[in-house]
Amino acid sequence: ALLENSIKEYRDIKVLINKDNISEEFKEVFNDIQKTNELAMLLVVANLDLSISLKNLHIVKSDSEKLFFLKNIFLTIRETIVVYNENGKFINSICKDRDEAKEANKTVAVNLRRFKKDFDYDRYIIPIRNNISAHINIDSFYDETIQIDIEKTIEMTLHFGKEFLSTAISLVRILL
């Protein structure tokens, strides 16, 4: 309900903006709020997707069902990081004049770098995402699939949620 209401409010405001009934100054403010809300929605949806995938990993019995949720985890983590990084300049610009936001942004950046290092982002997460989650590369599907360690993936997902998503959500709360 919270996510639905936020999306409806966002859509209603966007309709007003598109009618050109407001000043240019308000449009700039709205654009910053819009981008911040989109970041918030990204983080909330990622958290929800990862939570559902983790829950289902414990429920399902067959290997093919487990693989489905494992693939979703890799895809969600990778896409969340990509979209968050694409917004880096915007995030830095709105944090620059606010000490609390600057510190929170530094914490998010440090936690994300540590996550990438600790879980071998470039050599483990990206290839699995590229070859079995976002695309199906038949030549490497089997090799990538047998690399997946369920316990390591669960640990990785929990770490991503605690160390990256929670601190990024805290940053967005400061910005809103």
State the 10-residue block means of pLDDT for the chain, 176 residues long.
60 63 74 87 94 94 87 91 95 93 96 94 74 64 70 94 94 89
Other beta carbons within 10 angstroms of residue 144's beta carbon come to: 20
Q: What is the structure's pLDDT at 23? A: 73
Other beta carbons within 10 angstroms of residue 174's beta carbon come to: 16
Q: For residues 25, 28, 29 and 33, what is the CA-based torsion angle, rounded to 10 degrees?
A: 160
Which one, of 72, 59, 80, lies nearest residue 160 by Cα? 80
User: How much is the pTM?
Assistant: 0.80
Other beta carbons within 10 angstroms of residue 39's beta carbon come to: 21
Q: For the purposes of burial, counting CB atoms within 10 Å of the CB of 96, is it exposed (0-12), middle (13-18) or buried (19 or more)? A: exposed
Q: Would you mind telling me the total number of residues written for the chain in this entry?
A: 176
Q: What is the structure's pLDDT at 63? A: 84
CA distance 28 to 17: 10
Amino acid at the residue 23 = S
Q: What is the structure's pLDDT at 102? A: 95
Residue 130's contacts (CB-CB under 8 Å, 6 or more residues apart) are 137
CA distance 65 to 56: 9
